[in-house]
Amino acid sequence: MKKLLVLLLLAVVGYSLITAMMGVKFGENRLGDPQDEKTVSAYYLNNTTQKLSVSNVITAIVVNYRGLDTLGEVSVLFLASLGLGSILYRKHKEGEEEVAILKPSSQLLQAGSKLIFPAILMLGAYVFIHGHLTPGGGFQGGAIIATGFLLMMMAYQDYRVSHSVLVWVESLAGITFAGIGMWGLLLGNTFLENFLPIGTLNNLFSGGIIPIIYIAVGFKVAAELTGVLDTLLNIKDKH
């Protein structure tokens, strides 16, 4: 019965996908010529710098034109970390001794990673704060920060990141993102509408809501990836 239900569900999903994809011709260039004024890419390339004063067009597309999509992407990451935690979490049984998989690292690596760790954090923060001016953005900066935490976890066996802090950071960042979207709905017409002054091009404080959203995304991604890495590294062998 259960298998039949699953098959039925798969059939429904497959049918809807096929009917949606039938109209799309395979291998056709649907983006069009950027020189052609009627296409979307031409609109983005011509209007982003004047209307939003954002020099990184990709950031403008990701955060402003398709902001709702980015909110979805961030929640996908959240779901992934949640799923990982729920699968790997195991209650510690009484009298069961567990051995960590990680071997202790050398003194040189420990001292060196202590030196490099703040630099990595600063680089990640720089990448997501300047997301609207230079290549990079919230996701990349968050990933860089998570690698810094990974380095510390590898170097020091007993390095722990407090999970409650991670949860707080992640929730606050998510609330900021959604709250800015709701604020746009209140002041303007649409969800995630720009309500701040756009400033002048190439200034740090420009681009309206884009830097704020990217900072929130950076914190959220960093917290999620750090949580995932911490959960993965804490898998224990049974003794």
- Which C-beta is closer to another protein: that of 111 or that of 175? 111
> Is the Cβ–Cβ distance between 64 and 58 less than 8 Å?
no
> Is the Cβ–Cβ distance between 167 and 224 less than 8 Å?
no
Q: Considering only residues 133 through 172, tell me which ones interact with another protein, judged by CB under 8 A.
A: none
Q: Considering only residues 27 through 56, tell me which ones interact with another protein, judged by CB under 8 A.
A: none
* Minimum distance from residue 44 beta carbon to another protein (Å): 31
> Is the Cβ–Cβ distance between 217 and 128 less than 8 Å?
yes
* Minimum distance from residue 110 beta carbon to another protein (Å): 10
Q: How far is CA 150 from CA 7, 77, 85, 146, 215, in A?
A: 41, 18, 17, 6, 21
- Which C-beta is closer to another protein: that of 67 or that of 124? 124
- Which C-beta is closer to another protein: that of 21 or that of 99? 99
* Minimum distance from residue 223 beta carbon to another protein (Å): 25
- Which C-beta is closer to another protein: that of 117 or that of 183? 117
Q: Considering only residues 77 through 96, tell me which ones interact with another protein, judged by CB under 8 A.
A: none
Q: Considering only residues 98 through 127, tell me which ones interact with another protein, judged by CB under 8 A.
A: 103-106, 108-109, 112-113, 115-116, 119
> Is the Cβ–Cβ distance between 67 and 80 less than 8 Å?
no
- Which C-beta is closer to another protein: that of 4 or that of 115? 115
Using the CB atoms, write b or e for 109-142: b if 16+ within 10 Å: ebeebeeeeeebeeebbebbbbbbbeebbbbbbb
* Minimum distance from residue 230 beta carbon to another protein (Å): 20
- Distance separating alpha carbons of residues 61 and 68, to the nearest angstrom: 11
Give me 114's structure tokens: 């202590």
Please report, as ranges, the residues that interact with another protein according to CB under 8 A.
103-106, 108-109, 112-113, 115-116, 119
